[in-house]
Amino acid sequence: MAEYRMYAPDLVCICIDEAKKNKDYVGKIWDQYRETPVDFYNMTDMLFHMEQMYDRWNFPQSATQLRSFREEKGASGFKKDAEAERHTEWIWSRKGRLATFVVYVKFRQNATWQGDVLWVERQKKMAFDSSLALVKLIDSALENG
C-alpha cells in the first residue's frame, strides 16, 4: 500500500496516547511551527487548542466571529516561519501510542471546521464537515482499530 501524505500550512498531527474509561482520549498535538507538542486531556481540550492555533495563525481564516462571555484579546501577530516546510516532513514522524491522525482544516465556516483527516496507521483519509464530525471519525477509528 502506498503511503498517503497531505501538505498544507496548517497541518496538525494528533497523537492519541491513552483512552479513558468514558470514551475520551489523551494525547499530544504537533504542528509545523513549534518544536514541542501541546498536551490535551480530552477531546474538548484538543479542539480548544486547535482553534487557538488557527486563530493565532489566522489560517484558515474564520468566516464568523465566535461569541464568548469573556473579553477576547486581539490577534497575537504570530507569523509562520521559514522552517515550516521542514517541519511539515517532521510532523509525519510523530506517532501516538494508540493512533495518529493528520488533520487538514481547509475552511472555518459556519462556526466550525471543514477539511480532511488521515488515519496514519491505516492510511485512510476521510472528509469532515464539522469539528464534531472530526471527533466522531477519530472515535470510530479508535473503536475499530
pLDDT of the residue at 125: 95
Tell whether 71 is covered by a domain.
no
The contacts of residue 25 (CB under 8 Å, 6+ apart) are 16, 18, 19, 42, 43, 46, 98, 138, 142
Tell whether 74 is covered by a domain.
no
| pTM given for the model | 0.83
More confident residue, 102 or 62: 102
Domain count, the chain: 1
Which residue range forms the structural domain that includes residue 103?
13-65+79-144
pLDDT of the residue at 85: 54
Of 11-25, 43-57, 62-76, the range with the lowest mean pLDDT is 62-76
Average pLDDT value over all residues in the chain? 85
Tell whether 95 is covered by a domain.
yes
Nearest to 91 by CA among 39, 130, 23, 36: 36
Tell whether 100 is covered by a domain.
yes
pLDDT classification of 34: cutoffs 50, 70, 90: confident
pLDDT of the residue at 28: 98
Tell whether 40 is covered by a domain.
yes
pLDDT classification of 78: cutoffs 50, 70, 90: very low
Determine the straight-line distance between the first and last CA of the chain, rounded to whole angstroms. 18
pLDDT classification of 99: cutoffs 50, 70, 90: very high
Tell whether 70 is covered by a domain.
no
Tell whether 52 is covered by a domain.
yes
